[in-house]
């Protein structure tokens, strides 16, 4: 329920289906501790950490480590997403059943960063996941339709000579996976939808009763490919920023529920990987601390979503997609809950250097944003206040 508390708005704790916390392996960009602080500051009480770590989270050992480390930090529940294939770009399926049975109770599997492009591997993965009651989250990009190192497409990109990731590479995988999921009697989730074509396919698939869900990022709801004018690598991301017309379609699809959820695809990168020649820079953007105000800006204030809709897209739907309700105990009456108190009118200027993330690669640097989490509560404990994660002693409050 949404409660108006004298200008503040009480929402269920936000849930992010798609983050990269870089631990283990790239602790110079982000750690589970720093990423958890960013999540709590942004109003999140649960995040799903993608498996493209080093080592890859393709075993229960790595997944359980990520889960335990998140619990030790205590700011947000860090649910590991297991890899679909061994080593993440392979042909051999990872032991999803063992990861699902481990302490982390892994329920989402993905090769995010790489598409599960081989249709037979995808079909077998869907069948395996379906038997486990688990979900495959697809990074939708057919690599056979992409070319070059620059993952960008659109009029600005074309003028700059940046070739790479055409819409067809995304749209065709969404269509293929919808049909494979239908025939495998499985659920499939599409990560970071960016094109009007994907939206058409999603609408069609849902009308057929196919168990497909999808997420959109805050940056794809706000930014378009005109940002690429100066080759600024901060705007390099997978999938690429598209055209204004796609942005309008994505907003409408989120409002209509054709796209189910907002997910940040929080992708921290160390400066030496990001601040370099466009073609060589890593793709990805920070997102956890700016997601809520961007959704208020792009969806709430234009009247596309009301507060109820914001709660649905940023908390209820992602929790439902992830099957969070059956993990641990359901919240009973009188039991401490996961909540975020939103101050919708608080104005602030984004400074990458002031964010809790170790990396600073925010595409919203210098932007004035309105709204933030005034307080985040994880099982009744305050994990952040006024955009700052709680200190260790505050976390032990009950
Ligand atoms: C992600 C990353 O950096 O791990 N990058 C990105 O541009 N989104 C990978 C991904 O989500 O595909
Ligand atoms: Zn991806
Ligand atoms: Zn990602």
Choosing from 265, 273, 343, 386, which is the catalytic residue?
A: 265
Q: Which ligand is nearest to the CA of 16?
A: 3
Distance in Å from the first CA to the final CA of the chain: 23
Residue in 267, 273, 287, 357 to alter for ligand 1 test, most ligand atoms within 8 A of Cβ: 267
Given the CA of residue 237, which atom of ligand 1 is nearest to it?
A: 7
170 in contact with ligand 1, CB cutoff 6 A: no
Answer whether 275's CB lies under 8 Å from 282's CB. Answer: no
Say what the pLDDT of residue 398 is: 41
268 in contact with ligand 1, CB cutoff 6 A: no
> What ipTM describes this predicted complex?
0.99
171 included as an active-site residue: no
Residues 229 and 339: their CA atoms lie apart, in Å, by 40
Residues 103 and 106: their CA atoms lie apart, in Å, by 8
Residue keyed to tokens 């939708």? 140
Contacts of 388 by beta carbon, 8 Å cutoff, 6+ apart: 41, 356
Q: What is the mean pLDDT of residues 224-243?
A: 92
Q: What is the mean pLDDT of residues 55-84?
A: 98
In tens, the pLDDT along 142-178 reads 988 876 545 555 666 666 655 567 888 999 999 999 9
3-state DSSP of 50-85:
CCCCCCCCCCHHHHHHHHHHHHHHCCCEEEECECCE
Residues 63 and 17: their CA atoms lie apart, in Å, by 16
Residue 22, phi-psi category: left (phi > 0), alpha (psi -120 to 50), beta (remainder): left
Say what the pLDDT of residue 328 is: 44
Highest mean pLDDT among 31-40, 144-153, 156-165, 230-239: 31-40
Answer whether 233's CB lies under 8 Å from 276's CB. Answer: yes
Q: What share of the chain has pLDDT > 70, as a percent?
A: 91
> pTM score, two decimals?
0.95
CA dihedral 149, 153, 155, 161 (to 10 degrees): 20
Peptide bond into 393 cis (omega under 30): no
Q: How many helices (DSSP H) and strands (DSSP E) are in the chain?
A: 14, 14
Given the CA of residue 139, which atom of ligand 1 is nearest to it?
A: 12
176 in contact with ligand 1, CB cutoff 6 A: no
- Name the pLDDT band for 25 (thresholds 50, 70, 90): very high
Say what the pLDDT of residue 397 is: 46
262 has a pLDDT exceeding 50: yes
In tens, the pLDDT along 89-124 reads 889 999 999 999 999 999 999 999 999 999 999 999
Residues 11 and 136: their CA atoms lie apart, in Å, by 28
Peptide bond into 118 cis (omega under 30): no
283 in contact with ligand 1, CB cutoff 6 A: yes
Residues 53 and 242: their CA atoms lie apart, in Å, by 27
Residues 187 and 285: their CA atoms lie apart, in Å, by 28
Say what the pLDDT of residue 158 is: 61
Residues 52 and 275: their CA atoms lie apart, in Å, by 21
């Amino acid at each position: 329920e949404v409660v108006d508390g004298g200008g503040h708005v009480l929402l269920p704790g936000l849930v992010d289906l798609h983050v990269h916390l870089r631990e283990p392996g790239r602790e110079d960009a982000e750690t589970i501790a720093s990423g958890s602080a960013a999540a709590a500051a942004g109003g999140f009480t649960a995040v799903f950490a993608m498996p493209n770590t080093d080592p890859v989270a393709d075993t229960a050992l790595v997944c359980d480590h990520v889960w335990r480390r998140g619990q030790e930090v205590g700011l947000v529940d860090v649910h590991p997403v297991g890899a679909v294939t061994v080593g993440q770009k392979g042909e051999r399926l990872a032991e999803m059943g063992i990861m699902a049975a481990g302490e982390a109770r892994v329920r989402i599997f993905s090769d995010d960063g790489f598409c599960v492009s081989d249709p037979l591997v995808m079909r077998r993965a869907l069948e395996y996941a379906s038997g486990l009651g688990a979900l495959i989250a697809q990074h939708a990009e057919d690599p056979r339709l992409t070319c070059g190192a620059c993952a960008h497409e659109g009029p600005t990109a074309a003028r700059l000579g940046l070739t790479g990731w055409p819409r067809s590479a995304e749209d065709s995988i969404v269509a293929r996976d919808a049909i494979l999921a239908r025939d495998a009697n499985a659920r499939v989730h599409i990560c970071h939808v960016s094109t009007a074509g994907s939206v058409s396919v999603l609408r069609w698939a849902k009308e057929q009763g196919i168990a497909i869900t999808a997420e959109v990022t805050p940056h794809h709801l706000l930014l378009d490919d005109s940002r690429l004018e100066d080759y600024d690598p901060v705007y390099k991301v997978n999938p690429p920023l598209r055209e204004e017309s796609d942005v309008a379609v994505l907003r409408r699809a989120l409002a209509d529920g054709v796209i189910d959820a907002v997910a940040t695809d929080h992708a921290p990168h160390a400066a030496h990987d990001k601040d370099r020649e466009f073609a060589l820079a890593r793709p990805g953007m920070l997102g956890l601390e700016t997601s809520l105000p961007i959704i208020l800006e792009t969806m709430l204030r234009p009247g596309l979503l009301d507060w109820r809709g914001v709660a649905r897209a940023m908390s209820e739907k992602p929790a439902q997609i992830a099957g969070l309700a059956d993990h641990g105990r359901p919240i009973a009456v009188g039991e401490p809950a996961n909540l975020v108190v939103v101050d919708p009118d608080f104005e602030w200027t984004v400074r990458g250097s002031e964010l809790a993330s170790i990396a600073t690669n925010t595409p919203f640097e210098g932007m004035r944003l309105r709204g933030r989490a005034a307080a985040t509560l994880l099982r009744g404990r305050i994990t952040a206040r006024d955009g700052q994660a709680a200190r260790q002693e505050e976390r032990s409050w009950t």
